[in-house]
Structure 1
Amino acid sequence: EINKIKRLLQESELERNHWKSRYDSTSLDCQNEKQRNLQLSQQVRELSEQINQQSDYTSSLGSACCTLLWRVSRSEESIQAILVG
């Protein structure tokens, strides 16, 4: 009877160690995924900021070009020069 109990205890310990090992491994995987998600979120924020800056720049550039074209188009000589090439 004692041997049976010892054997069951050993089996229980082995099973506990197995599940603890799986828990530790899964926990580490989870932490790594969280870290990776944080890095990706940071990259998304940085890229969004870059897109916003590029959008602002191109809007300003387009506005400046339109203003210049409008000013030049007020003179008929300029229009003829543009059309002739």
Structure 2
Amino acid sequence: MLVVLVCARFPELSELARKVAASISDPVLLPDLVMSVDLTWESLALRRQLLEQADGRHQSLDARRDQGDQSERYGSFQLS
């Protein structure tokens, strides 16, 4: 599902999405990444998230919310 969404919304990131999806060993992370693809409006922001996941630096949305990370902004809305 992750790869299909990325290919539809950001075709230039499809190869990176395939690599990330193949490397996911914790199925709990997949819904967070799918949500990120759905909420992200810019390919650069999604590229950063996919690269973080590939490097093992990705945190789930719940973990970011628990830590009070408010750096993710989407337009005038803010995830918290």
How would you bin the TM-score normalised by the shorter chain?
Answer: under 0.3
- Structure number, greater radius of gyration: 1
- 1 or 2 for the larger relative contact order (CA 8 Å, sep ≥6)? 2
The TM-score, its normalising length taken from structure 1, stands at: 0.18
- Name the TM-score, length of structure 2 as normaliser: 0.19
Which structure shows the higher strand fraction? Answer: 2
The structure with more helix, counted as a fraction of residues: 1
